[in-house]
Amino acid sequence: MDRIRLIASDMDATLLDGHSQLPPDFLHLVKELAGQDILFAAASGRPLYKLEEMFAPVLEQTLLVADNGGAVRWRGKDLFVSRMEPEVWHRLTACAEENGDSFVVCGLENAYLRPCDRCYDAVYRNFYNRIAYVSDLYTIDAAVDKFTIYLPQDNAQEVYEKVYGPRFGQELAVAVSGKCWIDVTNPGVTKGKAVERLSRLLDIPSGAMMAFGDTYNDIEMLEAVGYGFLMENGSPELRSRVPYLAPPNTEYGVARVLQQVLRQKGCVCPADFTKAH
C-alpha cells in the first residue's frame, strides 16, 4: 500500500458511522493524506452540493464523485457531468408513481420531490440539503443526473428485481444502493467509471488506487482499483468479488485502514478510532 495515490470511499454505511457522521478528526486525516501526495475522493450517491458542505474545509484536497458517478468535481471545476434527458426521468417518474413509490428527481442544484412525500422530509434531509417540493414534476426545467427511489419498507432488492431492473435495466444503470434505496443513472454511469476517468485525467494507474464500499452501487468501483475494500457490514454476496475486507463503518473501518496507509509512509497518526456509539 506504500504506492497509493488516490483513495475513494463511499459515504453511507462505509465512511460514515451509524449516525451518518464522519469519523472524528477525519478531515485532518484527509490533510495528512494530501501531505503524502494522496488524494481523497468522496464517492457517494449524495449530490455535489451536499458533499461540498460535508468536506468544506478540505475541498482543495478532496475529489467529489457525486450521484453515483453522475457528476465529478474538483476544486470547484466540474470534470464530468452526465445529464439525464427529460424524457428518461419523465418515464421513471411515471413508473414510480404507478408503483406507489416515493422518489427524488436529483438535479445538480436541487432535489425535487412531490408535496405528498413531505412525510419523509426528515429522511431526505440526511442526504439532500436543498429540497424543492413541486406539484408537477414534469414542469421542472433543470439539469438532472440521477433518479432515486426510496423504499421505507427496506425492500429495495425485491422492488428492484420486480419493477425497476426488468423495466429499465437494459437501457440505464439501475442499482440497489441500500436496503431502502434504488438509484438510476444514465447507462455507463457508475462510481467505477468515474474512478476510471480520474485514473486517466490524473494519470494515476488503477494499481495505485484504493476504494471502500458496502453494497451493489459500489462494486464497479471496488473492482476498478488495485485495493478494493468491502466493509465488514457490507453485502455478503459481494465478498467473493472483492479482495479485501475492512472493519465495519460503526468501528471507523475506513479511517483505520487509512491510518495504516499513513503509518507505512512513516507518519504519526495520534487519533484513536475506537468503536462508534
User: What does the pLDDT look like over 62-71, one tens digit per residue?
Assistant: 999 999 999 9
The per-residue pLDDT for 180 is: 96
Place of cell 431502502: 180
Q: What is the pLDDT of residue 179?
A: 93
Q: How would you write the pLDDT of the chain (277 residues) with one tens digit per residue?
A: 668 999 999 999 999 999 999 999 999 999 999 999 999 999 999 999 999 999 999 999 999 999 999 999 999 999 999 999 999 999 999 999 999 999 999 999 999 999 999 999 999 999 999 999 999 999 999 999 999 999 999 999 999 999 999 999 999 999 998 899 999 999 999 999 999 999 999 999 999 999 999 999 999 999 999 999 999 999 999 999 999 999 999 999 999 999 999 999 888 776 666 555 4
Q: Which domains does the chain carry?
A: 6-81+189-264 (3.40.50.1000), 86-185 (3.30.1240.10)
State residue 122's pLDDT score.
96
- H helices of the chain, where? 26-35, 48-54, 86-99, 121-125, 156-159, 165-168, 191-202, 219-224, 253-264
Asked whether the beta carbons of 250 and 276 are under 8 A apart, the reply is yes
**What nine digits make up the cell of 147?**
433518479
Tell me which residue has cell 438535479: 107
For 214-232, the pLDDT digits (tens) are 999 999 999 999 999 999 9
The phi and psi torsions of 89 (rounded to 5 degrees) equal: -75, -20
DSSP string, 120-182: GHHHHHTT-S-EEE-S-GGG--S-EEEEEEE-TTS-HHHHIIIIIHHHHTTTSEEEEEETTEE
Contact at 8 Å (CB) between 65 and 194?
A: yes
* pLDDT of res. 277: 47
Q: How far is CA 82 from CA 7, 96, 184, 194, in A?
A: 23, 22, 12, 11
Rounded-to-integer distance, Cα 213 and Cα 203, Å: 23
Return the number of other C-beta atoms located less than 10 Å from residue 204's C-beta. Answer: 18
Q: How far apart are CA 131 and CA 121, in angstroms?
A: 9
> pTM to 2 decimals?
0.89
The x, y and z cell numbers of residue 109, run together, are: 442544484
Beta bridge partner(s), residue 15: none
Q: Which residues pair with 173 in a beta bridge?
A: 185
Buried b (16+ CB within 10 A) or exposed e, 110-129: bbbbbeebeeeeeebeebbb
